[in-house]
Amino acid sequence: MSRDSNKARLFTRRTILIGGVKVGLLSLLSARLYYLQILQNERLRTLAEDNRINLRLLAPSRGQIFDRTGAPLAINQQNYRVVLLPDQVNKLDDILKKIANYVEVSDESIKRIKNDFKRNGGVNTVMVCDNLTWEQVSAISLHMPKLPGVDIEVGEIRTYPYGGVAAHAVGYVGFFSPEDKKRGNKGLSIPGFRIGKSAIERQYDKALRGKPGDLQLEMNAHGRIVRELTRHEPKSGKDIHLTIDVGLQQFVSNRLKSERSAAAVIMDIHTGAVYALVSHPTFDPNVFTYGIDQKSWDDLSHNKRLPLLNKVLDGVYAPGSTFKLVTAMAGLDSGLCNPKEKIYCTGHLDVGNHRFHCWKRGGHGPVNLIEAVAGSCDVYFYEMGKRIGIDRLHAMAKRLGLAQKTGIDFPHERTGLVPSRAWKMATRGASWNLGETLLSSIGQGYVLTTPLQLAVAAARISNGGFAVKPHMFIPSGKQPVFKSLGFDRQHLKVLVEALTASVNSSKGTAYGARTENEDFAMAGKTGTAQVRRISSSERAGGVRSNDSLPWKERDHALFVGFAPIKKPRYVASVIVEHGGSGARVAAPIVRDILVACQKRNPAGT
């Protein structure tokens, strides 16, 4: 009886112990289930959805660019491309080798693809290559079962119908790069996504890009698409209409083709609309769209004639005698120049131990302002420079738009330089001297300008003295209103008369470039800018002609002019690098392009 009682008590204790353990384990399990299902519900639901749902960005259609007449300058065309679905690719190197059997995959592309894989975290597709032919699309589609993670997508690619004709005006697009990221640009993780790299494409990139859409796809355990859950369509970028007249642009481009290196710009003197902007030699922007190879890039970037440089905005040159319109205006405005006063030119002016020569060896004799501008007498403007002083010259140059950015809607332009006493002390740590003033007064020495700046200066003189600024994008609504620069109208009239005589007077330096049709007659100023120093011994024995010099040592040829004389509307500025005489080389180009511009009449006057 006692033994049975002990067995019962032992059995009861074991039962209680086992039951307690079971209850404890059940309590722990219940607590864990409560933690997972109640407390961690939202977090685990999110993780589950992430594993089941794939979010992809949808590329917006880039806004197109048109000229003022509606002619397409930058458009989008249908484009087939090979992409990889990261979550379905096990061995990237192996799949790339297989793809290479059907399309070319360069080492540079492989490097980019691997970087893209790392950056997007397997969420978005990664582009292998685009611009596929239909034969390539067919071959890949046929072998798709053997290419896991490979797909063909239909997208858009940027195309420039006029190629190099408008390259420096419109610009080009390219792949988002680390350099772009450093500059603060933001890209999108979308296959084939490109951003504006230069000119208008870069200036208005945000407006042209549009906004991406997105697509939510339900995926199965094997990474295959089950169904589309949600779709938000992308918003296309805005189309842009430029002031450029592509017909005029083509004419100017063809007119410069015979030169080794040159630039030209045509602008409305009242509105600032740029009708043509050409830098020669040029390049084909389409090669950047598809991804330029290293050899082609080296050929462009190392070309001594700088085809990638927009010489209209970023080329800075000594303006030579075209700067004399600034000196003349400074003399008139300061009251130190009487336009009727005659100054005698003997062919040189001595200042201390230095002799400053006129381009005309025997001198011009006695000349007034109009005669000095027409004949481009250096001695007359040396004398004006002495009277005016460098600081007044600097101030007038700034009023006319030099030594500063013009404000054109481009991502970059050079400021040029018109020196002052303060500038030399700050940059050179030296005092200014009179000889430097004389050189500056004829557009030599430290003075540097861009072709666009010279066009702006001539426009401000010919439009009645208003501070016109150039632009490329056609603004909506009212035309811009520009403030008056406060010039005396009589002074402007005298200077316009002098610039008219420069072309249409028999003693004018550009007389040979005049047009016989008075309705299209132009006014303007020649410029021949030295790029080498002429020694006293060479001058004594006779200055060597440009034709006898190596190309790099020849003078730059410049001309800036406006037309028609009776009612000015258009201004044109041309630089022919190492072209020699401004009168013989640059002036005829300006005549031809201004006549063409007046015939097309983009201003509609």
Domains and CATH numbers, the chain: 54-241 (3.90.1310.10), 246-299+312-600 (3.40.710.10)
Question: What pTM was estimated for this model as a whole?
Answer: 0.84
pLDDT of residue 591: 98
For residues 207 and 184, give the distance between their C-alpha atoms in angstroms, rounded to a whole number.
16
Give residue 20's Cα distance to chain centre. 81
pLDDT of residue 58: 79
Q: What is the DSSP letter of 121?
A: T
Distances in Å between the alpha carbon of 244 and those of 70, 76, 321, 401, 411? 10, 20, 29, 22, 17
- For the chain, first and last CA: distance in Å? 130
For residues 155 and 151, give the distance between their C-alpha atoms in angstroms, rounded to a whole number.
13
Give residue 148's Cα distance to chain centre. 42
Please report, as a single letter, which amino acid is at residue 50: D
pLDDT of residue 181: 65
Residue ranges of the chain with pLDDT lower than 70?
1-14, 19-21, 35-37, 39-54, 119-124, 178, 180-192, 219-225, 477, 535-542, 605
| Interior angle at CA 505, CA 502 and CA 510, nearest 5 | 45
Residues identified as active-site: 321
Give residue 316's Cα distance to chain centre. 15
pLDDT of residue 371: 97
